[in-house]
Amino acid sequence: MRTAGSALLVILGLLLAAVAGPALWLERNVVDGAGFAQLAGPLGTNSEFQEGLSALAADQATASLNLPPQLNELAGALIISAARSIYSDPGYEAAWTQTLQRSHKLTFDAAGNQEVQGDLKLDIAPLVELVAAKVAQDLGVPLPTPKEVVVSLEQPQVAKVLPLASALGGASGWMAFIAVDLLALGVIVAKRRALTLILGGAGLAAVALLWQLGSGFVESALAGLVVGTEIAQQFGIQLGALARASWQGGITATFLIAGVMAAAGVVALIVKGRRTT
């Protein structure tokens, strides 16, 4: 009876851990605004993504800056040049981080509002400000900039999963806590605790292997979900690669924990064997 109860507790703990791990990652890297900005930060230095971002910033700057009519033609070339050179500006890193934080808030606010059609939104006002500052310096004319420059990436399929990501992320802490408790309780009530530790470690390693395989699927799925403009596609492809790399640390840590559990079980078996001889 104890053996069956222990096995049930360990299996339930492993199943819950399989969900809790990705949910914790979602909470820290997708649902949390600061975490998302850190995850997606390297996108701002990706040359392929920068090319599309430059074109987007130039288009939006042209549309949103209030330029004197006599300067329109001259300013067009200056805006394109300024948009392509903002990446060398000392303020670019901070502006890109602000862009990600603003965009995250807009996107999740829309996803959580039933009256608003969910979508992925970028607020590139901080980048437009950098473009405007460079153009104003060249023209010698101060240019007022809008507080928001919101661009919709029109990704309804991606937006649909955001409420689910929020729900899973919100419950991740409790899921992880309960999973650990179930595993610990399964070992405590077991008649053969050493063997239970070894089997539990093997099961946890299987969970980590499942995550390893799943991370590749998530990367390709995210890249496939994002459609439309070139910048939207690059955003999905590059973000998928960053997400997979970020999740690798959690997978490695889980393999290590699994190894420690199994090793502890082996040591316990050896000690027990010596005592009986």
Mean pLDDT of the chain: 82
pLDDT tens sequence across 56-103? 888 888 877 776 666 666 677 788 888 888 888 889 999 999 999 998
Q: What is the DSSP string of the chain?
A: -HHHHHHHHHHHHHHHHHHHHHHHHHIIIIISHHHHHHHHGGGGG-HHHHHHHHHHHHHHHHHHS---GGGHHHHHHHHHHHHHHGGGSTTHHHHHHHHHHHHHHHHHHHHT-TTS----EEE-HHHHHHHHHHHHHHHT------S--EEE---HHHHHTHHHHHHHHHHHHHHHHHHHHHHHHHHHH-SSHHHHHHHHHHHHHHHHHHHHHHHHHHHHHHHHH--SSHHHHHHHHHHHHHHHHHHHHHHHHHHHHHHHHHHHHHHHHHHHHHHH-
Q: What is the pLDDT of residue 115?
A: 45
pLDDT tens sequence across 212-242? 988 877 777 666 655 556 677 777 778 888 8
Q: What is the pLDDT of residue 276?
A: 60
Residue 211 has pLDDT above 70, yes or no: yes
| Percentage of residues in the chain having pLDDT higher than 70 | 85
253: confidence class by pLDDT, cuts 50, 70, 90: very high
Q: What is the pLDDT of residue 202?
A: 93
Residue 33 has pLDDT above 90, yes or no: no
Residue 248 has pLDDT above 60, yes or no: yes
Least confident of 64-78, 143-157, 168-182, 252-266: 64-78
Q: What is the pLDDT of residue 256?
A: 95
Q: What is the pLDDT of residue 116?
A: 44
